[in-house]
Amino acid sequence: MSLTTIAPDGTSPSPGTTDARASRRAERRFGIAQRRNLTGWVFLIPAALLIAVMNFWPMFQAFLLSMQTGRGTRLKWADPLWYNYQRLFSDEIFKLTVQNTFIYLIIQVPIMLVVAMVLANLLNDPRLKFKGLWRTAIFLPCAVGLVSYSLVFRTMFATDGIVNDTLQAIGLVDSPVNWLGQPNTARFVIIVGLLWRWTGYNMVFYLAALQNLDRSTFEAARIDGAGPFKTFWYVTVPQLRPMILLTAIMSTNGTIQLFDESWNLTQGGPAYSTMTMSHYLYELSFQKNPNFGYAAALSYAILIMVAVLAAIQMKVGDKRD
């Protein structure tokens, strides 16, 4: 049996009329989809143009600049064009700043992430009292002004500062330690400053991830007789792997581009022994007979290091099938 649609006037519509109505409905749907698509592009294009003008165009200009030599504004094309990049391999100061930066990276980042994860696990305990107070206290260093905390650290680690007074009072040292005047101790002060400032920042990421984990996995571990350490290592850490990867990449990138602590705490001294690559880049660009072409080449060297380390971390840390 076939069903025929009856029009309001009692007549049956012709096949041509039905096709025309279906075509009009399809056109209306297509028009709505087009308008929605166009609305999305209207919001997207200004942001994309702004990113291109403010980010990618300066990067392209810096690449062109890295192939030029000269002082100040008196620049000319290098011969060969890769001369500035070639010069990096023979620059002893640059090699020292790379060494300093990787010392901070290798020592500070693992300690910071482990401490942040342990603190987040402790603060995630529902039985802990005054959790808001502890979380605020640990995160608060991130909100402290960089110049302010640098002045405090310089005062604390001065030869007549509270650190030396405390160490002498408890008998650990016989005479004041010149913390900022010796390469190893000056690097130690920078590492302590980085740990103090950024551990709470990473802790917040881990704490947010912990609060979204499946609680049934912890109950299953408890029923199986797993203690706190085994539960943390075999249940918590595997579920935090994506967040660990994120914080590791962010911390690595931030350390490779480290500038503030080197500039404010030690001024790169003594004798470049604490200077980072970004600090050296600033010195080349704006101090001591500025050389913008060589500084631009150094900036691309830093970019390549960041990209390579991030790619390695993604390859090692991302275990998705």
Note the pLDDT tens digit of each residue in 15-32: 556 666 666 665 566 567
**Residue 1: pLDDT band by 50, 70, 90 thresholds?**
very low
Torsion, Cα of 293, 299, 301, 307 (10° steps): -150
Note the pLDDT tens digit of each residue in 58-110: 899 999 999 998 877 788 898 898 999 999 999 999 999 999 999 999 999 99
Angle of CA points 191, 168, 159, to nearest 5°: 55
Per-residue pLDDT, 14:
56
- pTM score over 0.85: no
The architecture of the domain spanning 91-317 is Orthogonal Bundle (1.10)
Note the pLDDT tens digit of each residue in 109-147: 999 999 999 999 889 888 888 888 998 899 999 888 888
**H/E stretch holding 162:** helix 162-169
Cα–Cα distance for residue pair 283/277, rounded to 1 Å: 10
Is residue 108 exposed (0-12), middle (13-18) or buried (19+ Cβ within 10 Å)?
Answer: buried
Is residue 205 a contact partner of residue 246, using CB atoms and an 8 Å limit? Answer: yes
Here the tokens at position 152 are: 């405090």
Q: Is the peptide bond before 15 cis (omega within 30 degrees of 0)?
A: no
pLDDT at 13 exceeding the cut of 90:
no
